[in-house]
Structure 1
Amino acid sequence: MIKYKTEEEIQKIRESALILGKTHGEVAKHVRPGIKTKELDKIAEEFIRDHGATGSFKGYGGFPATLCISTNEVVVHGFPSDYELKDGDIISIDCGVYYQGFHSDSAYTYPVGDVPQETLSLLKATKESLYVGIEEAKFGNRIGDLAFAIQKYVEDRGYTVVRELVGHGLGRDLHESPEVPNYGKRGRGPKLQEGLVIAIEPMVNLGTRNIVQERDGWTIRTKDRKPSAHFEHTVAIFKDRTEILTTHKYIEEVVNF
Structure 2
Amino acid sequence: MSFSNKTIWITGASSGIGKALAIELSQQNVKLILSSRKLVALELVKKECKNAAEVKIVTLDLEDYNNLQSKVDEAISCFGTVDILVNNGGISQRSLVKDTQISVDKRLMDINYLGTVALTKALLPHFIKNKKGQFVVTTSIVGKIGTPLRSSYAASKHALHGFFDSLRAEHHRDNIAVTLVCPGFVNTNVSKNALTGNGTPQQKMDSATENGIDPERFAKQMIKVIKKKKEEAYIAGTKEKLAVFAKRFYPKLLSIMIRKLSVT
- Give the TM-score normalised by the residue count of structure 2: 0.25
- Decide which structure has greater helix share: 2
Please identify which structure carries the higher strand content. 1
Q: Which has the larger radius of gyration?
A: 2
Q: How high is the TM-score relative to the length of structure 1?
A: 0.26
Structure with the bigger RCO (C-alpha within 8 Å, sep 6+) is 1
